[in-house]
Amino acid sequence: MPTEREINTLYELSQADFQLYMTDRARGLVRVLLEEVMQAELTALLQAQPYERSAKRRGQRNGSYGRDLTTSLGRLEEVQVPRDRAGQFQTRVFEQYQRRQGEVDQAIQTMFIKGLSTTAVGQVVGPLLNDAPSPSTVSRIFHSLDEECAAWRQRPLDAHYRYIYLDGTYFTIGYEDAYEKTPILAAMGVKDNGERDVLGFMPGDKESRPAWDECLDDLKGRGVASADLWITDGGPAVIGAVEAKFPGAKRQRCVVHKIENILARVPKSKQEDVRNELNRIFYLAVNRDKAQQEVEAFTAKWQPIIPDAVQCLLKDLEDCLRFYDFPKKHWRSIRTNNYIERLFNGVKMRTHSMGAFRNENSCLLIFYAVIRSMHFRKLSLPA
């Protein structure tokens, strides 16, 4: 049976929606590879890289045009096909892909699992070129994906966000001869226009204070100056980092985590009753005043019976109820860390059969591969 936290994290994703979600990720990777392989074809025809001065050059590049392509993963619109000035270039990629798309798609599925090695990239490029690709071709495509990920992680960010979510999760990563559980820390933001965006992610050190300091320093270094609300779990490391790096910031404590912590202090025979009353505080109250009344009723009833659970509720209660100070239609989105939890679960479900990443770079690249073509629902903001 899934835990309550898993249910709260994935309740909006049906099996069909999840399949569509992952298919969209794979389509994005197919597009990148097709466009890179066509560039390799044109380089072979012209005998020169872009902007390369060479006596062997046979012509000049002349931009690109868009072409749609139907694939086993769905339709790709406006795939960019390069051109040369003389009009001699005719790509074989579309024909080869349509002829061997099952083989290519299977290779793409395993490419990141193999750590995006040059060998794995070659297994994809070979069928598309109908020939064994040269080491330089494979290396260029390999590094283009790696460099694209690096550039994305260094891109400038907005100065202000309505909401920023912070959380971390663990993945098994290989380091030389040993595999270790390593946390990946991530930040997700809601812009002033309501658009959601993954702001960044990085490997951490047991979700420690220095790791979160580095994560927030990265956000600040790329332009983030403030947020109306920071949504986190109750970990002292992330709380301390937010308070130190963004003094005066308002914080929302994830109520799913809070309820779990309270119930851990409640006998099983009482947990259903306690959960129902906690739901009246965090989910059913019509405003903050009503929620506070429910807190007082909860405290009066349960203090003589489960004082530790009551103490847990009252600890950082203000941060738990902070979402009531924001627009009511946003409460569902900001009282928990569910949005960023879904991101983590999407990556883990995509890589479940792997068991572990071969190296840290492989882990970061699969994160980017999942994120690069995600489409988040826009949050409706007050005028």
Q: Under a CB-based contact definition with an 8 Å cutoff, are residues 296 and 317 in contact?
A: no
Describe the strand order of the beta sheet including 178-190 as a list of residue ranges.
196-203, 178-190, 160-175, 226-232, 251-253
| Geometric angle at alpha carbon 28, from 23 and 32, rounded to 5° | 145
The H-or-E segment that residue 185 falls in is: strand 178-190
Q: What is the pLDDT of residue 8?
A: 40
Q: Where are the domains of the chain?
A: 16-153, 160-371
Question: CA–CA separation, 376 vs 65, rounded Å?
Answer: 28
pLDDT, position 103: 66
pLDDT (0 to 100) of residue 383:
47
Q: Indicate the pLDDT class of residue 363, thresholds 50, 70 and 90.
A: confident
Q: Measured in whole angstroms, how far is the alpha carbon of residue 240 from the centre of its chain?
A: 23
290 or 118: which leads in pLDDT: 290
pLDDT at 120: 59
298 within 8 A of 313, measured Cβ to Cβ: yes
Q: Compute the distance between CA of residue 191 and CA of residue 163 in angstroms, rounded to an integer.
A: 7
Pairing of strands 61-71, 196-203: unpaired
Asked if pLDDT for residue 381 goes beyond 80, the answer is: no
Please answer whether residues 185 and 211 qualify as being in contact, where contact means their C-beta atoms are separated by less than 8 angstroms.
yes
Chain segment 286-310, per-residue pLDDT in tens: 999 999 999 999 999 999 999 999 9
CA distance 300 to 61: 77
Residues in the chain, total:
383
Give whole-number Cα distances, 132 to 82, 122, 219, in Å. Answer: 21, 8, 42
Rounded to whole angstroms, how far apart are CA atoms 240 and 208? 10
Question: Looking at residues 88-109, what average pLDDT do you find?
Answer: 73
Q: Give the residue-averaged pLDDT of 144-168.
A: 88
Where residue 40 falls among pLDDT bands split at 50, 70, 90?
confident
Distance between CA 344 and CA 350 in Å, rounded?
A: 10
Q: Which of 72-76, 117-121, 124-128 comes out lowest in average pLDDT?
A: 117-121
Burial class (CB in 10 A: 0-12, 13-18, 19+), 29: buried
pLDDT at residue 210 is higher than 80 = yes
Residue of 176 and 81 predicted with greater confidence: 81
- Calculate the alpha carbon distances from 284 to 117, 276, 288, 348 in Å: 51, 10, 11, 32
